[in-house]
Amino acid sequence: MPDADDILERKNFYLEVPQTCKAFALKGSNALDWGMKNRLARVFSPDDCRTVMLAVDHGYFQGPTTGLERIDVTICPLIPYADALMITRGALRSTIPPEIAKPVVLRSSGGQSILKELSNERIAVDIEDAVRVNASALAVQVYIGGVHEHESIGNLVEIVNAGNRHGIPTMAVTGVGKELARDAKYLGLATRICAELGANFVKTYYCERGFAAVAAGCPVPLVIAGGKKLPEIDALRMAYRAVSEGAAGVDMGRNIFQCDAPKAMIQAVRAVVHENETPERAYDLYLSLKSAGEGSELCTAKTQLR
Protein backbone atom coordinates (compact mmCIF):
# COMPACT_ATOMS: atom_id res chain seq x y z
CA MET A 1 0.00 0.00 0.00
CA PRO A 2 1.63 3.32 -1.01
CA ASP A 3 2.17 5.91 1.66
CA ALA A 4 -0.31 8.66 0.83
CA ASP A 5 0.88 11.12 3.45
CA ASP A 6 3.61 12.75 1.36
CA ILE A 7 2.20 12.38 -2.14
CA LEU A 8 1.48 16.09 -2.50
CA GLU A 9 4.88 17.09 -1.14
CA ARG A 10 6.75 15.01 -3.72
CA LYS A 11 4.93 16.41 -6.75
CA ASN A 12 6.07 19.42 -8.76
CA PHE A 13 3.26 21.42 -10.29
CA TYR A 14 5.56 24.19 -11.59
CA LEU A 15 3.42 26.80 -9.89
CA GLU A 16 5.61 29.60 -11.21
CA VAL A 17 5.06 28.57 -14.86
CA PRO A 18 1.69 29.60 -16.37
CA GLN A 19 0.10 27.06 -18.69
CA THR A 20 0.22 28.28 -22.27
CA CYS A 21 -1.56 27.34 -25.45
CA LYS A 22 0.31 28.34 -28.58
CA ALA A 23 -1.77 29.63 -31.46
CA PHE A 24 -1.81 27.46 -34.59
CA ALA A 25 0.07 29.54 -37.13
CA LEU A 26 -1.35 28.19 -40.39
CA LYS A 27 -3.63 30.75 -42.03
CA GLY A 28 -7.30 30.40 -41.15
CA SER A 29 -6.80 27.22 -39.11
CA ASN A 30 -6.55 28.27 -35.47
CA ALA A 31 -10.19 27.47 -34.65
CA LEU A 32 -10.01 23.90 -35.98
CA ASP A 33 -10.06 20.78 -33.82
CA TRP A 34 -6.83 19.11 -32.69
CA GLY A 35 -6.95 16.32 -35.26
CA MET A 36 -7.45 18.74 -38.16
CA LYS A 37 -4.52 20.86 -36.98
CA ASN A 38 -2.33 17.81 -36.53
CA ARG A 39 -3.00 16.61 -40.07
CA LEU A 40 -2.48 20.08 -41.53
CA ALA A 41 0.83 20.29 -39.65
CA ARG A 42 1.92 17.16 -41.51
CA VAL A 43 1.15 18.72 -44.89
CA PHE A 44 2.45 22.23 -44.08
CA SER A 45 5.78 22.53 -42.29
CA PRO A 46 5.23 24.02 -38.82
CA ASP A 47 8.50 25.94 -39.26
CA ASP A 48 7.26 28.17 -42.09
CA CYS A 49 3.65 27.08 -42.81
CA ARG A 50 4.65 26.16 -46.36
CA THR A 51 4.56 22.94 -48.34
CA VAL A 52 6.03 21.23 -51.38
CA MET A 53 3.39 18.73 -52.43
CA LEU A 54 4.11 16.19 -55.16
CA ALA A 55 1.05 15.71 -57.37
CA VAL A 56 0.87 12.31 -59.06
CA ASP A 57 -2.91 11.85 -59.33
CA HIS A 58 -3.14 12.68 -63.06
CA GLY A 59 -4.05 9.12 -64.02
CA TYR A 60 -7.53 9.43 -62.54
CA PHE A 61 -8.63 11.13 -65.77
CA GLN A 62 -5.57 11.09 -68.08
CA GLY A 63 -4.54 7.46 -67.76
CA PRO A 64 -0.79 6.68 -67.95
CA THR A 65 0.55 10.24 -68.04
CA THR A 66 4.11 10.71 -69.31
CA GLY A 67 6.38 10.29 -66.31
CA LEU A 68 3.78 8.31 -64.38
CA GLU A 69 3.76 5.15 -66.47
CA ARG A 70 5.37 3.33 -63.52
CA ILE A 71 4.77 5.23 -60.31
CA ASP A 72 6.65 2.61 -58.32
CA VAL A 73 9.77 3.26 -60.39
CA THR A 74 9.70 7.00 -61.08
CA ILE A 75 7.93 8.53 -58.09
CA CYS A 76 9.20 6.53 -55.12
CA PRO A 77 12.69 8.12 -55.29
CA LEU A 78 11.11 11.58 -55.07
CA ILE A 79 8.96 10.99 -51.99
CA PRO A 80 11.66 11.77 -49.38
CA TYR A 81 11.96 15.31 -50.82
CA ALA A 82 8.22 16.06 -50.78
CA ASP A 83 6.25 17.36 -47.81
CA ALA A 84 3.13 15.52 -48.99
CA LEU A 85 2.00 13.20 -51.76
CA MET A 86 -1.20 13.88 -53.72
CA ILE A 87 -2.37 10.56 -55.14
CA THR A 88 -5.37 8.32 -55.84
CA ARG A 89 -6.24 5.47 -53.53
CA GLY A 90 -5.67 2.93 -56.31
CA ALA A 91 -2.14 4.12 -57.03
CA LEU A 92 -1.42 4.47 -53.31
CA ARG A 93 -2.38 0.91 -52.48
CA SER A 94 -0.80 -0.66 -55.55
CA THR A 95 2.49 1.24 -55.90
CA ILE A 96 3.47 3.13 -52.72
CA PRO A 97 5.06 1.18 -49.83
CA PRO A 98 3.30 1.84 -46.53
CA GLU A 99 6.66 2.53 -44.89
CA ILE A 100 6.71 6.08 -46.24
CA ALA A 101 6.54 8.68 -43.51
CA LYS A 102 4.90 11.35 -45.65
CA PRO A 103 1.30 12.57 -45.44
CA VAL A 104 -1.13 11.61 -48.19
CA VAL A 105 -3.51 14.10 -49.78
CA LEU A 106 -6.05 11.71 -51.25
CA ARG A 107 -7.76 12.41 -54.57
CA SER A 108 -11.42 12.07 -53.64
CA SER A 109 -13.34 13.15 -56.75
CA GLY A 110 -13.43 11.70 -60.24
CA GLY A 111 -15.71 10.06 -62.75
CA GLN A 112 -14.67 11.58 -66.06
CA SER A 113 -11.84 11.25 -68.59
CA ILE A 114 -10.03 13.54 -71.00
CA LEU A 115 -12.44 12.22 -73.64
CA LYS A 116 -15.47 13.82 -71.98
CA GLU A 117 -16.54 16.99 -70.19
CA LEU A 118 -13.98 17.47 -67.41
CA SER A 119 -16.33 19.11 -64.92
CA ASN A 120 -18.63 16.08 -64.76
CA GLU A 121 -17.20 14.61 -61.55
CA ARG A 122 -18.62 12.82 -58.55
CA ILE A 123 -17.28 11.84 -55.15
CA ALA A 124 -14.97 8.90 -55.78
CA VAL A 125 -13.88 7.91 -52.25
CA ASP A 126 -15.95 7.42 -49.11
CA ILE A 127 -14.65 8.79 -45.85
CA GLU A 128 -14.19 5.36 -44.27
CA ASP A 129 -11.73 4.37 -47.00
CA ALA A 130 -9.87 7.65 -46.55
CA VAL A 131 -9.50 6.78 -42.87
CA ARG A 132 -8.32 3.27 -43.76
CA VAL A 133 -5.44 4.62 -45.86
CA ASN A 134 -4.59 7.20 -43.17
CA ALA A 135 -5.19 10.20 -45.42
CA SER A 136 -4.01 13.53 -44.03
CA ALA A 137 -6.27 15.50 -46.36
CA LEU A 138 -8.94 14.99 -49.03
CA ALA A 139 -8.71 16.62 -52.47
CA VAL A 140 -11.81 17.46 -54.50
CA GLN A 141 -12.08 19.28 -57.82
CA VAL A 142 -14.35 22.32 -58.05
CA TYR A 143 -15.32 23.79 -61.44
CA ILE A 144 -16.54 27.34 -60.84
CA GLY A 145 -18.10 28.50 -64.09
CA GLY A 146 -17.98 24.99 -65.55
CA VAL A 147 -20.83 23.05 -67.10
CA HIS A 148 -21.24 21.05 -63.89
CA GLU A 149 -20.43 23.83 -61.44
CA HIS A 150 -23.36 23.03 -59.14
CA GLU A 151 -22.52 19.33 -58.92
CA SER A 152 -18.82 19.97 -58.22
CA ILE A 153 -19.68 22.44 -55.45
CA GLY A 154 -21.98 19.79 -54.01
CA ASN A 155 -19.07 17.33 -54.05
CA LEU A 156 -16.95 19.82 -52.13
CA VAL A 157 -19.62 20.35 -49.49
CA GLU A 158 -20.08 16.61 -48.97
CA ILE A 159 -16.35 16.00 -48.66
CA VAL A 160 -15.96 18.92 -46.23
CA ASN A 161 -18.79 17.60 -44.05
CA ALA A 162 -17.39 14.07 -44.05
CA GLY A 163 -13.88 15.32 -43.34
CA ASN A 164 -15.08 17.48 -40.46
CA ARG A 165 -16.76 14.46 -38.85
CA HIS A 166 -13.49 12.53 -38.91
CA GLY A 167 -10.95 15.31 -38.42
CA ILE A 168 -9.57 15.21 -41.97
CA PRO A 169 -8.98 18.53 -43.79
CA THR A 170 -10.23 19.18 -47.31
CA MET A 171 -8.24 20.68 -50.16
CA ALA A 172 -10.38 22.19 -52.91
CA VAL A 173 -8.80 22.14 -56.37
CA THR A 174 -9.98 24.87 -58.72
CA GLY A 175 -10.49 23.24 -62.10
CA VAL A 176 -10.29 25.64 -65.02
CA GLY A 177 -11.66 24.61 -68.39
CA LYS A 178 -10.21 25.79 -71.66
CA GLU A 179 -12.95 28.39 -72.05
CA LEU A 180 -12.20 30.10 -68.71
CA ALA A 181 -9.44 32.66 -68.18
CA ARG A 182 -6.93 32.01 -65.42
CA ASP A 183 -6.86 35.65 -64.34
CA ALA A 184 -7.02 37.23 -60.90
CA LYS A 185 -10.73 37.96 -61.15
CA TYR A 186 -11.64 34.35 -61.86
CA LEU A 187 -9.12 32.82 -59.44
CA GLY A 188 -10.18 35.21 -56.69
CA LEU A 189 -13.81 34.19 -57.22
CA ALA A 190 -13.11 30.46 -57.32
CA THR A 191 -10.75 30.30 -54.34
CA ARG A 192 -12.96 32.45 -52.14
CA ILE A 193 -16.03 30.33 -52.88
CA CYS A 194 -14.10 27.17 -51.97
CA ALA A 195 -12.92 28.66 -48.67
CA GLU A 196 -16.36 30.02 -47.81
CA LEU A 197 -17.84 26.54 -48.29
CA GLY A 198 -15.36 25.02 -45.84
CA ALA A 199 -12.21 24.01 -47.72
CA ASN A 200 -9.24 24.11 -45.36
CA PHE A 201 -6.79 24.92 -48.16
CA VAL A 202 -7.10 25.48 -51.88
CA LYS A 203 -5.02 24.45 -54.85
CA THR A 204 -5.19 26.96 -57.69
CA TYR A 205 -3.16 28.51 -60.48
CA TYR A 206 -0.70 31.37 -60.36
CA CYS A 207 -1.45 34.48 -62.40
CA GLU A 208 1.19 37.09 -63.14
CA ARG A 209 -1.11 40.05 -62.51
CA GLY A 210 -3.02 40.31 -59.26
CA PHE A 211 -2.08 37.07 -57.54
CA ALA A 212 -1.26 38.85 -54.27
CA ALA A 213 -4.88 40.03 -54.13
CA VAL A 214 -6.11 36.48 -54.84
CA ALA A 215 -4.05 35.15 -51.93
CA ALA A 216 -5.09 37.97 -49.61
CA GLY A 217 -8.76 37.47 -50.43
CA CYS A 218 -8.69 33.77 -49.61
CA PRO A 219 -8.90 33.18 -45.82
CA VAL A 220 -7.17 29.78 -46.02
CA PRO A 221 -3.79 28.76 -47.49
CA LEU A 222 -3.31 28.60 -51.26
CA VAL A 223 -0.98 26.17 -52.96
CA ILE A 224 -0.28 26.64 -56.64
CA ALA A 225 -0.52 24.01 -59.33
CA GLY A 226 2.50 23.54 -61.53
CA GLY A 227 0.37 23.12 -64.63
CA LYS A 228 1.86 22.08 -67.94
CA LYS A 229 5.57 21.34 -68.25
CA LEU A 230 7.68 24.51 -68.35
CA PRO A 231 11.42 25.04 -68.71
CA GLU A 232 12.92 24.45 -65.27
CA ILE A 233 13.92 28.06 -64.68
CA ASP A 234 10.40 29.23 -65.56
CA ALA A 235 8.81 26.76 -63.15
CA LEU A 236 11.14 27.95 -60.39
CA ARG A 237 10.30 31.58 -61.16
CA MET A 238 6.60 30.80 -60.96
CA ALA A 239 7.04 29.09 -57.58
CA TYR A 240 9.15 31.98 -56.28
CA ARG A 241 6.66 34.65 -57.34
CA ALA A 242 3.74 32.70 -55.94
CA VAL A 243 5.19 32.24 -52.43
CA SER A 244 6.52 35.81 -52.46
CA GLU A 245 2.97 37.02 -53.17
CA GLY A 246 1.23 34.97 -50.50
CA ALA A 247 0.99 31.34 -51.59
CA ALA A 248 1.71 28.72 -48.91
CA GLY A 249 3.59 26.49 -51.31
CA VAL A 250 3.20 24.41 -54.44
CA ASP A 251 1.56 21.18 -55.54
CA MET A 252 3.71 20.33 -58.55
CA GLY A 253 3.59 17.29 -60.76
CA ARG A 254 4.66 17.52 -64.39
CA ASN A 255 7.20 20.26 -63.70
CA ILE A 256 8.98 17.76 -61.47
CA PHE A 257 8.44 14.23 -62.72
CA GLN A 258 8.72 15.16 -66.42
CA CYS A 259 12.12 16.82 -65.91
CA ASP A 260 15.32 15.15 -67.09
CA ALA A 261 16.41 15.08 -63.43
CA PRO A 262 13.29 14.93 -61.24
CA LYS A 263 15.13 14.44 -57.97
CA ALA A 264 17.29 17.48 -58.63
CA MET A 265 14.24 19.53 -59.60
CA ILE A 266 12.22 18.78 -56.49
CA GLN A 267 15.18 19.79 -54.36
CA ALA A 268 15.44 23.06 -56.27
CA VAL A 269 11.73 23.69 -55.71
CA ARG A 270 12.21 23.02 -51.99
CA ALA A 271 15.00 25.60 -51.91
CA VAL A 272 12.62 28.20 -53.33
CA VAL A 273 9.65 27.36 -51.11
CA HIS A 274 11.33 26.63 -47.79
CA GLU A 275 14.59 28.58 -48.02
CA ASN A 276 13.39 31.61 -50.01
CA GLU A 277 16.09 30.93 -52.58
CA THR A 278 15.99 32.98 -55.75
CA PRO A 279 14.99 31.18 -58.95
CA GLU A 280 18.45 31.71 -60.40
CA ARG A 281 20.26 30.21 -57.42
CA ALA A 282 17.75 27.37 -57.25
CA TYR A 283 18.33 26.70 -60.95
CA ASP A 284 22.07 26.61 -60.30
CA LEU A 285 21.36 24.02 -57.61
CA TYR A 286 19.30 22.03 -60.08
CA LEU A 287 22.11 22.05 -62.66
CA SER A 288 24.68 21.15 -60.04
CA LEU A 289 22.69 18.20 -58.76
CA LYS A 290 21.89 17.11 -62.29
CA SER A 291 25.54 17.20 -63.39
CA ALA A 292 26.48 15.22 -60.30
CA GLY A 293 24.07 12.50 -61.40
CA GLU A 294 21.46 13.36 -58.77
CA GLY A 295 17.94 13.08 -60.00
CA SER A 296 17.68 10.61 -62.84
CA GLU A 297 18.29 7.29 -61.11
CA LEU A 298 15.38 4.91 -60.66
CA CYS A 299 14.50 2.96 -57.55
CA THR A 300 12.13 0.34 -56.23
CA ALA A 301 13.77 -0.40 -52.89
CA LYS A 302 11.69 0.38 -49.82
CA THR A 303 14.78 1.41 -47.88
CA GLN A 304 15.22 4.47 -50.09
CA LEU A 305 11.86 5.79 -48.94
CA ARG A 306 13.01 6.41 -45.37
What is the model's pLDDT at position 293? 83
Average pLDDT over residues 22-46: 96
What is the structure's pLDDT at 181?
77
For the stretch 139-177, pLDDT in tens is: 999 999 999 999 999 999 999 999 999 999 999 999 876
Query: What is the rounded average pLDDT for all residues in the chain?
Result: 92
Smallest CA-to-CA distance from 158 within 175, 181, 183, 141 is with: 141
Look at residue 295 in the predicted model and tell me its pLDDT: 56
DSSP state of 135: -
Please tell me the distance from the alpha carbon of residue 224 to that of residue 44, in angstroms, as a whole number. Answer: 14
Given this model, what pLDDT does residue 119 score?
A: 82
Instruction: Indicate whether 66 pLDDT > 80.
Output: yes
pLDDT at residue 21, rounded to an integer: 87
Residue 203 appears among annotated catalytic residues: yes
Give the pLDDT of residue 1. 58
* Average pLDDT over every residue of 31-50: 97
Question: pLDDT class for 179, splitting at 50, 70, 90?
Answer: low
pLDDT at residue 2, as a whole number: 61
Q: Where are the beta strands (DSSP E) in 62-176?
A: 84-87, 104-107, 109-110, 122-123, 137-142, 170-174
What would the mean pLDDT of 242-263 be, rounded to a whole number?
97
Give this prediction's pTM: 0.91
Q: What end-to-end distance do the CA atoms of the chain give, in Å?
A: 48
Choosing from 102, 203, 263, 290, the catalytic residue is 203
Mean pLDDT across the stretch 183-202? 97
55 in Cβ contact with 86 (< 8 Å): yes
What is the predicted pLDDT for the residue at 301? Answer: 33
At residue 291, the pLDDT reads 93
The sign of the dihedral angle between the CA atoms of 22, 26, 29, 34 is: negative
User: Which pLDDT value is given to residue 296?
Assistant: 54
pLDDT of residue 304: 41
Residue 274 scores a pLDDT above 90:
yes
**Which range (33-42, 73-82, 96-105, 293-302) has the least confidence?**
293-302
Best-predicted range by mean pLDDT (5-14, 60-69, 269-278): 269-278
Rounded Cα distance, 53 and 1, in Å = 56
Residue 114: per-residue pLDDT? 82
Residue 302 has pLDDT above 50, yes or no: no
* pLDDT, tens digit (0-9, with 9 covering 90-100), for 92-138: 999 999 999 999 999 999 888 887 888 888 999 999 999 999 999 99
